[in-house]
Amino acid sequence: MTPLWKLDQPILLASTSPTRLQLLQSAAIPVEVRSPDVDERAVEAELQRQNLSPDAIALELATAKGAQVSRQLSDRLVVAADQTLALGARQYHKPKNIDDGREQLLSLSGKTHALHSAVVCFRGGERLFAHVETARLTMRPFGPAFLEAYMSVAGDTVLRSVGGYQLEGFGVHLFERIEGDHSTILGLPLMPLLAYLRSAGAVEA
């Protein structure tokens, strides 16, 4: 535990994302990880059938994960997050293969897309906090030569992230403008979460 953390037990992160874990740890929040037993793609498909917006889908996915873990460990404070990437009406998922990753990058070239990152907190199966933050990222127009150079450097890492890029790495070469908080882009809006934790007495105010 750190002097900033006021609860007896670490926060429970309902995610296996190493990036989200690192964001919390970098803020001196003690964390334990629990993988949620949620079929995210099935839940997302149903939400899309209901014509929910991408930001609402991110919130519902985060809620599903947080609720599932909170029901298992009702005495713990649980945080869950999710993120969607949308260009207009099109919502993106992790590329299925290298060719799919190439197609995603080409479709985003020269355009501004939105990253919607949702974070929720649960205790005892009850959602206590929910927030969605949006970042807008503009990819520069690029040609075939750059794309193939990028793909050769990126390799299979293209398959790890929606849109085929990791902004915190060499994916930064793809962009000309970024509007939004860094933690939101990485998939966990940290500032709103910390504000809630302070108000809830979990973090020293």
Active site residues: 82
- Burial letters 157-176, b for 16+ CB under 10 A, else e: ebeebbbbbbbeeebeebee
With a CB cutoff of 8 Å and minimum separation 6, the contacts of 178 are 135, 136, 137, 138, 167, 185
Q: Smallest Cα–Cα separation from 41: which of 123, 118, 96, 108? A: 96
Helix (H) or strand (E) holding 48: helix 40-49
Separation of alpha carbons 199 and 159, rounded Å = 38
Q: Smallest Cα–Cα separation from 165: which of 101, 116, 115, 98? A: 101
Helix (H) or strand (E) holding 85: strand 78-87
